[in-house]
A and B are shown apart, each in its own frame.
Chain A
Amino acid sequence: MTGEASTEAADGRKAQLLKGLAELALLSLLAERAHYGLEILDRLRGDAGMDVAEGTIYPLLHRLEKAGLTRAEWRLETEAARPRKYYALTDAGTAELKAQAAEWRRLSARLGAFLDRSGA
């Protein structure tokens, strides 16, 4: 019972943290090259260890596109059965990634040092 409850609480904490960081991870991923939705989801889950859902990633992608941070285009590739919508980073997106990454590093370094102070 207690074990179950604490697992649930841990999942909740993780979800809260991940939500804010999904955008940063996404920008970082798109800085490599243009990706399409399913590929983004697989890489964020597999490489970045972020448990993001389809229902989260697509609205986020569209919001970033509307904000001018990403640019999207439909491409029909030879190996794909259907056209895929690819998202690439714009210059504004690159600048946003730099700013967010710097902020995250500063934050995590300070918080890490703070948590380490008593070995907790």
Chain B
Amino acid sequence: MIATPQDRAVADWLRRLKWALAALPESDRDDIVAEAAAHLEEAAAAGRSTGEILTGFGAPELYARPFLDQAELARALGSQTAADLAGAVARRVHRSLVAALAGAALLAIVVVMFVAVTLVVMEVQDPIHTGLWLGAHVRFIGQIDDPSIARDLLGGWLIPLAAVVIGGGWVIGRLLLLAAVRRLARPG
């Protein structure tokens, strides 16, 4: 049998699709490619033009994208590690409202956790000057130049409180990411 230009176009399209799906597990990739190959062959046998069918599929790289998207979300939900979940959300902030909102909320949580960590470091290095200061003219959390002008409302509670904020931030952040990725993975 001589390969017609149509056959070559189909083979080329399938080869590019396989290449575009390289990030997927082999069985998933073969499944998607075999399904498209069966469709192309059967639709052509039914009298449809190859060009028309390939146009329906779109460029292989574009056709591959939703499969890669789904696989990434499924992988993040499977591993449930903070890095996978955060990565899946971060790569969608520019094209998904859910991801953008989750990203903004997560950023706020990370900032609060960072402040808590900084305060713990300050407290360890300089417990005398670090605290939640309330005086006649001052009201802040951090390091004070002259501890005699204000009262430290937290005292020894700063580190336990910071630990609660850091731990709570981690738990809430993870739950938020998990909920966001589940929402992104939902059909429709």
**A14 proximal to B (CB < 8 A):** no
Would you call B38 and A59 a contact (CB within 8 A)?
no
Q: Which residues of B contact A67 (CB under 8 A)?
A: 185-187
Closest chain A residue, CB of each to CB of B54: A54
Q: Which residues of B contact A62 (CB under 8 A)?
A: 32, 66-67, 70
Q: Which residues of B contact A111 (CB under 8 A)?
A: none
Q: Which residues of B contact A38 (CB under 8 A)?
A: 38-39, 42-43, 46
Q: Which of B31, B45, B56 contacts A85 (CB 8 A)?
A: B31
Would you call A55 and B58 a contact (CB within 8 A)?
yes
How many pairs, one residue from A and one from B, have CB atoms within 8 Å of each other in the complex?
Answer: 66
Q: Which of A10-36 contact B (CB under 8 A)?
A: 20, 23
How distant is A89 from chain B, measured CB to nearest CB, in Å?
13
CA–CA, A53 and B67, complex, Å? 16
**B41 proximal to A (CB < 8 A):** yes
Q: Which of A53, A54, A63, A84 contacts B187 (CB 8 A)?
A: A63
**B35 proximal to A (CB < 8 A):** yes
Closest chain A residue, CB of each to CB of B36: A58
Q: Which of B158-188 contact A (CB under 8 A)?
A: 185-188
CA–CA, A23 and B188, complex, Å? 7
**A44 proximal to B (CB < 8 A):** no
**A101 proximal to B (CB < 8 A):** no
Q: How many residues of B contact A (CB 8 A)?
A: 27
- Interface of chain A, main secondary structure: helix
- Interface of chain B, main secondary structure: helix
Residue among B42, B45, B58 facing the most chain A CB atoms (10 A cut-off): B42
Given that A20-B188, A62-B32, A66-B70 are contacting pairs, would A55 and B38 also be in contact in the complex, using a CB cutoff of 8 Å? no
CA–CA, A69 and B188, complex, Å? 12
Given that A55-B63, A59-B67, A64-B187 are contacting pairs, would A82 and B74 also be in contact in the complex, using a CB cutoff of 8 Å? no
Closest chain A residue, CB of each to CB of B63: A55
CA–CA, A20 and B62, complex, Å? 20
CA–CA, A63 and B46, complex, Å? 27
Q: Which residues of A contact B82 (CB under 8 A)?
A: none
Closest chain A residue, CB of each to CB of B37: A82
Would you call A84 and B38 a contact (CB within 8 A)?
yes
Given that A55-B58, A58-B36, A62-B67 are contacting pairs, would A81 and B41 also be in contact in the complex, using a CB cutoff of 8 Å? yes
Q: Lowest 6 CB-CB distances: which A-B pairs, in order? A: A59-B66, A54-B56, A55-B58, A53-B56, A54-B57, A82-B38
Q: Using CB atoms and an 8 Å cutoff, list the residues of chain A in contact with chain B.
A: 20, 23, 37-38, 53-55, 58-60, 62-64, 66-67, 69, 80-85
